[in-house]
């Protein structure tokens, strides 16, 4: 157990939202014991599904696991029989909750209270067979640095690697998610105010799903192409992927909100750090030709909107963020291309109205 007191500012996860637990219906920080046996059993199902995807279900008893996240996946790995499990999270709230379970002898999971982008985490002398990140990498300060630090903790052997659940650029949903986040951050609206605003309009689960997007410290929505370049730079080889399209440009038609990737460490050597656009999601040149016109328009209205935020009242800004939250509920990744574009045109129209 190691406690890093530099993490006092991270209040979103564990306090206002449960992060990776949002796949469970009616699972919220307000109405659930987030670490109960019933909840952890659901995480066992999710983890087991992922292990079966990469054919590691029969090898788990011989694997050491590093879980970056809330700690619930770590508890699931322990119950499923992993050889050894270590949990890392920058959230002091989640760290304390897992440590409480240790104090009452409900778990033997090791706990580290670190930011995985930090030098102190990088300096830890740790080695594991499997790193499991469920919806974490895109919320780090620097995904390339985070992956670099995690790679150094992974053994090079046959049944070892890094499991990732990632947001990816291209989908209309993630354009809305990106817009919500930027507006909230630039306007400096705190999480308590956002929580109350969402709670007045939505149920607990929808409130927390939106706090995940709006209240997080970082939101990096990168393309599959960019992630592929990062993997290649770090000598990481893709063994399994789902909805990860690195062979095409970003696509409103094709890209889903998220993707799954399992990568192996081929060696500890790294190539030169790659430079990539932090806001590549806005660049129309990164999209398929059929999308470029509407992305150009979105881009133009995005900068018009950002430039007038300081002239808008906090109330009007919050109302617009809520409007975007309602728009996200209309998104369906199996909708036709025309329906997806229609939703994005509606967002652009609302952006124009807001800037008047």
Contact 130, 160 (CB under 8 A): yes
The label of the residue with tokens 């599959």 reads 224
Q: Which residues pair with 165 in a beta bridge?
A: 134, 260
- Which pLDDT belongs to residue 9? 45
Q: Which of 88, 73, 162, 93 shows the shortest CA–CA distance to 120?
A: 88
Instruction: Look up the pTM and report it.
Output: 0.92
Take residue 14 and report the two structure tokens written for it.
Answer: 């564990």
Matching residue, tokens 């199996």? 334
The segments of the chain whose pLDDT lies below 70 read 1-32
Give domain limits for the chain. Answer: 2-167, 172-218+277-355
| CATH code of the domain occupying 2-167 | 3.40.50.150
Q: What is the pLDDT of residue 208?
A: 87
* Distance from C-alpha of 120 to C-alpha of 198, rounded to nearest angstrom: 36
Whether the Cβ atoms of residue 261 and residue 240 lie closer than 8 Å to each other: yes
Tens of pLDDT, residues 270-303: 998 999 998 999 999 999 999 999 999 999 999 9
């Amino acid at each position: 157990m190691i406690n890093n007191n530099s993490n006092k500012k991270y209040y979103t996860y564990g306090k206002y939202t449960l992060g990776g637990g949002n796949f469970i219906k009616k699972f919220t920080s307000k109405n659930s014991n987030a670490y109960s046996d019933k909840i952890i059993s659901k995480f066992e199902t999710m983890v087991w599904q992922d292990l079966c995807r990469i054919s590691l279900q029969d090898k788990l008893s011989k694997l050491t696991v590093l879980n970056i996240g809330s700690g619930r996946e770590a508890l699931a790995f322990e119950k499923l029989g992993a050889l050894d499990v270590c949990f890392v999270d920058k959230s002091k709230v989640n760290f304390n909750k897992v440590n409480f379970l240790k104090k009452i002898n409900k778990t033997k999971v090791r706990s580290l209270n670190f930011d995985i982008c930090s030098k102190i985490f990088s300096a830890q002398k740790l080695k594991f067979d499997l790193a499991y990140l469920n919806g974490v990498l895109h919320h780090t300060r620097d995904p390339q640095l985070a992956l670099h630090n995690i790679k150094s903790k992974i053994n090079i052997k046959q049944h070892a690697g890094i499991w990732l659940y990632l947001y990816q650029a291209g989908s209309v949903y993630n354009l809305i998610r990106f817009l919500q986040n930027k507006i909230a951050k630039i306007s400096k609206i705190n999480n308590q105010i956002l929580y109350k605003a969402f709670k007045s309009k939505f149920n607990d689960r929808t409130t927390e799903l939106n706090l995940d997007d709006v209240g997080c410290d970082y939101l990096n929505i990168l393309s599959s192409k960019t992630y592929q370049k990062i993997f290649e730079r770090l000598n990481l080889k893709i063994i399994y992927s789902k909805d990860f399209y690195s062979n095409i440009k970003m696509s409103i038609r094709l890209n889903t909100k998220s993707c799954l990737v399992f990568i192996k460490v081929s060696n500890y050597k790294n190539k030169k750090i790659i430079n990539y656009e932090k806001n590549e999601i806005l660049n129309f040149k990164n999209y398929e030709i059929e999308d470029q016109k509407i992305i150009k328009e979105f881009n133009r209205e995005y900068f018009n909107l950002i430039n007038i935020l300081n002239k808008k009242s906090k109330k009007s800004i919050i109302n617009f963020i809520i409007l975007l939250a309602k728009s996200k509920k209309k998104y369906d990744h199996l909708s036709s291309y025309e329906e997806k574009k229609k939703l994005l045109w509606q967002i652009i129209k609302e952006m124009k109205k807001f800037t008047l």
